[in-house]
Amino acid sequence: MRALAALGLGAAALAVAFVGSAAVLEAWLTGFLLWLHLGVGAIGVLALGHLLREEWLAPVRPPLEAAAASLPLLALMALPLLLVPGQLYPWVAEQVGPEHGPRAALLQPWAFRLRSLAYLAVWSLLGWRLARPGPQRRISVLALVLLLPTATLAGFDWVLSRDTSWYASLQGFSMWVAGLAAALAAAILAARTHPDSEGLPGLERALLTLGLGVLWLWFTQFIVVWMADLPEEAGWYLRRLGDWRWVQLGIALPALLLAIALAAPPDHGRWRMVAVCWLLLVQHAAHLWWVVRPDAPLAQPSPWLDLLVTAGLGAAFALWWLAGLRRPSR
């Protein structure tokens, strides 16, 4: 099953890279980032769970481990970004010069490819190691130390570099925290049994903490940019508060606020925890789309194309995940 998923996805990625239109590549980028955040987020949740020795990790450990072990497949999803970055990142055609300061050395195709391969290699190794049975406290420390800089830099490379005037340093970290919340929510929904009374309070606190963390990080960045009144950063938000405001204000923000409101009271019932998880996933997908899509340089895919490409990548991810799903070894 894994070989079939990898073979099919690899062939599709090569076809999209060399034959696909700009609209297909744009839809591929958004779908890739959505599933990547679940895999990398699973690594972070596993590392935190091992370090905190929380009982809540036990019921969700199998789906988290299967997601963390999916990084080799997710690396295949990155092929179009590495092979034809010029259709996704305007700086390839602009030939970024010294006026961009230190960014001039970073925004070069060869440097972009090397960094991307390094991120994917590090995450693949961490995912493989954390998916092994037994306690993983030492590797969990290393995982968190490596995830913070790599996730931040990957957010800059794959998302924020599409606007070369954008300098917010917390954006990559914020997307990773949102990925933690989405990965935990997906793992709870995928768990074979509802968490028992021992693991339930820990999961409740974790969902609430991550939801509040996502809200705080995005709101803090917006307020800092608004108070500083910097034209470049303000322009980034203005593009998203124009034709795209309905995505954030109509979907992402209400879903996040409702998830926090439902998660705040203790003693979640099954229906309430399921609702919180779905709302966090909806918020993450909508917010990711809101961040990525307004800076598309060449084409805007139709919603149907977005749905088709994301579902296709999700099917490959699901096949790999199902093959790796197993019971936790204590």
Kindly report, residue by residue over 118-150, the tens digit of the pLDDT.
999 999 999 999 988 777 888 999 999 999 999
Instruction: Report pLDDT for 196.
Output: 54
pTM to 2 decimal places: 0.90
Alpha-carbon separation of residue 290 from 23, 29, 107, 145, 266 (angstroms): 16, 13, 23, 28, 32
Most confident of 104-108, 216-220, 223-227: 216-220
Instruction: Report pLDDT for 273.
Output: 86
Q: Is the pLDDT score of 197 beyond 80?
A: no
Alpha-carbon separation of residue 117 from 95, 194, 238 (angstroms): 22, 38, 33
Q: Is 238 left (phi over 0), alpha (psi -120 to 50) or beta?
A: alpha
Q: Is the pLDDT score of 328 beyond 60?
A: no
Residue of higher predicted confidence among 156 and 105: 156
Alpha-carbon separation of residue 36 from 22, 122, 260 (angstroms): 21, 14, 24
Q: Is the pLDDT score of 95 beyond 70?
A: no
Counting Cβ atoms within 10 Å, is residue 210 exposed (0-12), middle (13-18) or buried (19+)?
buried
